[in-house]
Amino acid sequence: MSAIARRGSGWTPWLYLAPALVVLGGLLVYPVYQLGLISFLEYTQAQVSGGEPTSFKGLGNYTTLFGDPQFWQVLLATVVFAAACVLATLALGCALAVLLTRVRAVPRLALMMAALGAWATPAITGSTVWVFLFDPDFGPVNKVLGLGDHSWTYGRYSAFALVLLEVVWCSFPFVMVTVYAGIRAIPAEVLEAASLDGASQWRIWRSVMAPMLRPILVVVTIQSVIWDFKIFTQIYVMTNGGGIAGQNLVLNVYAYQKAFASSQYSLGSAIGVVMLLILLAVTLVYLRLLRRQGEEL
Amino acid sequence: MSFVRRPWRLAAEASALLIALAVAFPLYWMVLSAFKPAGEIQSTEARPWTLSPSLDSFRRVFEQQEFGRYFLNSLLVASVVVIASALIAFLAATAVTRFRFKFRTTLLIMFLVAQMVPIEALTIPLFFLMRDFGQLNTLGSLILPHIAFSLPFAVWMLRGFVKAVPEALEEAAYIDGASRSRFLWQILFPLVFPGLVATSVFSFISTWNDFLFAKSFIISDTSQSTLPMALLVFFKPEENDWGGIMAASTVMTVPVLVFFVLVQRRLVSGLGGAVKD
Amino acid sequence: MKFSARIAAPAAALVLAGLTATACAPQTSDNSAKKDEKSGTLRVWLFQEVGNAPKQKVVDRAVDAFRAQHKDAEVEIEYIPVETRAQKIKAAFNDPESAPDLIEYGNTDTAGYVKDGGLADVTEEFGAWAEAKDTDPAAKQSVSVGGKVYGAPFFVGVRALYYRTDVFEELGLKPPKSQAELVTAAKKIRKAKPELYGLAVGGAYTYGAMPFIWANGGELAEESGGTYTSAIDSPAARKGIKAYTSLFGPDNCPAAKCAEMGGNDTVTAFASGRAGMAIGGDFSHAAVEAGKVKGKYAVVPLPGVKAGEIAPAFAGGNNLGVLKSSSHRTLAVDLMKQLAGKKAQGELFDAMGFLPTYTDVRESAAKKEPFVEPFIETLAAGAKAAPASPGWAQIDSSLVLPTMFQEIVSGRKDVAAASGDAAKKMNDAFGAAG
């Protein structure tokens, strides 16, 4: 604890925090509270627009939800899909970050610019462009691969694979840039020493870089988990709202469809609450990891 | 780096260039398709160039009612959100890194938890909140929630930057007789600025891309509509107006790209700073 | 640091926030109108059609006529995109401030909107309106819920079979007279011209599939005493589902492409010359005319099971309705009568080809434009409506039937299992809607 911190008067930090707390309290905490509330009520369009009174359903919505086999299917798909996205994004991002440190300025700039371009592309346009690239009639991919008019969105796994490609494309740049910045912060002598000892690239990564980059890796992992678990636009746009017979639904899209397409706001809210709880559990693991490293928040 | 052997470096550089091409290809294809004349897009040959670029697709996009207005609205919303959330987050990050107080860790965890809230699920409660504040059909209904949603991540990221400023500097400032607010705005703020730029990229993107709130909160006053709403008209896959879709996508992507290129340097060094602590 | 305690606090706070559900209830809106002003601005939402300009002209003329009688009233018309209409109209129910006074809506939404408390009961005005006497009974049914009237029919939409005359001639085919002939013709076309779909069908094209169910004697749902029960898994309905889904396959319309298609996709495929036949509406006429197949197609009623029969079509169409929250009720009803009146509907037919809801106007329309004949014939043979239950809107929007068709054509479930599951979901929706 520093001298200044001790000197600080009790109220100053709260003064600095006030705007953030007001905004978050009003526009995040309160709506989340409402979300939790709605998930315990009978709340459809008729209640919303005042046609019928709201009524308390207790855990009724959750019972309905947990009794619906589709929910479990969607939950499983979400977890597996998010995990695949996170792993692929991290692997590609780290590999390219290491690559960036191995090349001279021109190729580095080219890769960096291309990555920033992918990062800057709005999710909705990125998704549309990827669908177009893989379009059975007009897309270049099928032409190059000689697949004729093979439809990528028809099969469950090929549709998920297509979405995964887009997600990795637009989210690896964050990992790459961050890890690259982290590697540059590692003293060159350390890496040089390892290299002179004749260690292989993979070994240098495993035994020297990865441990030093650990805090960074934990940050990018948790961010990727948060983002990929909540994936919405890509699935919504690329599989046209969840795919054939709902085969490509993930929780966030499922909640949206329940709430807005079918006006079952309470079921949609219950799904939202379930998502929040799962992500909370992930945070616990994350904080554990931070503590094991002796990191201070 | 000198310790990399030559053939290895050449191979690495070649693959870096190839990967750069692959990563840039979807964007290239988007711009290309936007300029292709209608006949070529619908042709099944899919040539990777065009000999007769045409502006027809862009014309269809710009002929949308009040296109310029939507563009300005989007720009206004994004700028207000970026500036406001950066300032608020800067204050909050300073509080949680340079002071010790009760509930500090709890608050930090709250900031982390807040990032996990699925935004889509909050549309309904926010709708009523906006209605009760009389903000529906105004740009305020888009600005306010976006500030709230970009704050937690911004605070979380800015912590590293604020922490990186040596405390000796703060001591020295006070010894020189600087007031707390003078230190905050004239010393700390400029030092943290690269970090602010890095975080603002995130709030800019999420605000610029939003169509869910725009669709839900701007009901009857089309003059308050934003760009994604105007462009959504083209996102109708069954009509196969791929030229229009790609032109609309290009129009939507370019401002973000410009923003990225402008802040590129600071972004890279900024992200390094955020996590270095 | 005692992490666990620090984590537990916010987590517990969140859970508590959810549990203490009594403090203040979530919001609802008060939709009842407070007043009935005789001057001011009327806000109207109409659907934006493909090629909207002619519709706009007809509407503007009707508005001028209305303004001539009501000098103090202004009318503000907004054309809303069909894709986002559901959300926009729901939002309007939720926020009376933003809500228009008069809206156009699809007739399958009537019961749902009434249950939502969005539409005003205009039984009295409708009864006293002279022109309304000639309204075709099916159209009147589509604005009624529980014996009360909630709007005025704007136009009816009905589907029939579009086919390529050039292809039929080349292959020596005749317009099919029965469902069996239809299937044979479709497969023959596909075999001779593999670049064409025989009959373009879509897994998400519910209204194209319904005639197959009805023609086989099936029903979507059965009503008794005001409550609906799904009949989609009855043997007759299953036969119809089987007939429709048998059209998905390499020998007519490959499932990999057609399972995803909706009504618009099949019409687009036909209009761009990629299908030998398609089930399209009278309202699709303009789009087909604008396509590659102009001058190379004709329309006949969709055949039923027995030769010479016409398969019952879905009686679609749109209505106009006054919102319950409108503070200009009298004016809004007058404008509704103007827009849905015989004169405007006749003009709308000339401009857009939308079939009038008045039997007499429709007859004179048929004389002018022979292309509507097969559609009027189909209507005369008895078109059917969707179940008039508020649950239907939910069944429709949660894609129960498209999911069923897609499950079958993608081989995930057989007809019995898929229709059984669909029936269960439908009954849940009917039950919840009461």
pLDDT in tens, A3-16: 444 445 578 889 99
Residue whose token pair is 């839900």? B216
Same-domain check for residues B105 and B47 = no
State pLDDT tens for residues C177-202: 999 999 999 999 999 999 999 999 99
Residue A185 lies in a domain: yes
Question: How is residue A112 written in tokens?
Answer: 């960096």
- Residue C365 to chain A, least CA–CA distance (Å): 37
Q: Are C166 and C296 in contact (CB under 8 A)?
A: yes
Q: How far apart are CA C327 and CA B46, in angstroms?
A: 56
Q: Are B226 and C49 in contact (CB under 8 A)?
A: no
Number of CB pairs < 8 Å for A and C? 121
Using the predicted structure, report yes or no on whether residue C102 has a pLDDT greater than 60: yes
Residue of B nearest to C89 (CA): B219
What pLDDT is attached to residue C9?
A: 42
Query: Can you tell me the ipTM of this complex?
Result: 0.85
Residue B61 lies in a domain: no
Residue A297 lies in a domain: no
Same-domain check for residues B189 and B244 = yes
**Superfamily per CATH, domain C40-157+316-380:** Periplasmic binding protein-like II (3.40.190.10)
Residue B192 lies in a domain: yes
For A16, A112, A113, B20, B223, the CA distances from B17, given in Å and listed in that order, are 46, 10, 11, 5, 45
Instruction: Return the amino acid letter for C182.
Output: L
- Residue B220 to chain C, least CA–CA distance (Å): 6
Q: How far apart are CA C272 and CA B21, in angstroms?
A: 35
C268 chain-B contacts, CB cut-off 8 A: 238-240
Coil, helix or strand for C295?
coil
CATH code for the domain in which residue A246 is found: 1.10.3720.10
Same-domain check for residues B268 and B141 = yes
State pLDDT tens for residues A264-289: 888 889 999 999 899 888 878 877 77
Number of domains in chain B: 2
Same-domain check for residues B235 and B147 = yes
Question: How is residue A284 written in tokens?
Answer: 């616990």
Could you count the other beta carbons within 10 Å of the beta carbon of residue A108?
A: 18
Same-domain check for residues B248 and B140 = yes
Same-domain check for residues B28 and B120 = no
Q: Is C411 exposed, middle or buried (0-12, 13-18, 19+ CB in 10 A)?
A: exposed
Q: Are C154 and C320 in contact (CB under 8 A)?
A: yes
Using the predicted structure, report yes or no on whether residue B133 has a pLDDT greater than 70: yes
C7 chain-A contacts, CB cut-off 8 A: 283-284, 287
Q: Structural domain boundaries of chain C?
A: 40-157+316-380, 159-314+389-433
Q: How far apart are CA C257 and CA C259, in angstroms?
A: 6
Same-domain check for residues B17 and B149 = no
Q: How much is the average pLDDT of C411-427?
A: 94
Q: Are A77 and A164 in contact (CB under 8 A)?
A: no
Ranges of chain A with pLDDT below 70: 1-9, 49-51, 293-297
Same-domain check for residues B122 and B93 = yes
State pLDDT tens for residues C199-240: 999 999 999 999 999 999 999 999 888 789 999 999 999 999
What does DSSP say about strands C73-81 and C40-48: parallel, antiparallel, or unpaired?
parallel
Which residue did the predictor score with more confidence, A107 or C394? A107
B276 chain-A contacts, CB cut-off 8 A: 181-182, 185
Instruction: Return the amino acid letter for A82.
Output: A
State pLDDT tens for residues A90-109: 999 999 999 998 888 899 99
Same-domain check for residues B44 and B71 = no
Q: Which residues contact B102 (CB under 8 A, 6 or more apart)?
A: none
Specify the CATH class of C159-314+389-433 in words.
Answer: alpha beta
- pLDDT category of residue C434 using cuts at 50, 70 and 90: low
Q: Are C268 and C211 in contact (CB under 8 A)?
A: no
What pLDDT is attached to residue C29?
A: 67
Same-domain check for residues B149 and B193 = yes
Q: How far apart are CA A118 and CA A177, in angstroms?
A: 12
Coil, helix or strand for B123?
helix
Instruction: Return the amino acid letter for B221.
Output: D
Q: How far apart are CA B269 and CA C400, in angstroms?
A: 52
Q: Which domain holds residue A172?
A: 68-263
Q: Residue C309: left if φ>0, alpha if ψ -120 to 50, beta else—which one?
A: beta
End-to-end CA distance of chain B: 25
Number of CB pairs < 8 Å for B and C? 57
C14 part of contact set with chain B, CB < 8 Å: yes
**Chains sharing 3 or more CB pairs under 8 A with chain A:** B, C
- Residue A292 to chain C, least CA–CA distance (Å): 11
- Residue B76 to chain A, least CA–CA distance (Å): 18
Is pTM beyond 0.90? Reply is no
Q: What torsion do the CA atoms of C84, C86, C89, C90 make, to the nearest 10 degrees?
A: -120
Coil, helix or strand for C167?
helix
Angle made by CA atoms A72, B112, C11, in degrees to the nearest 5: 65
Same-domain check for residues B105 and B192 = yes
Residue B199 lies in a domain: yes
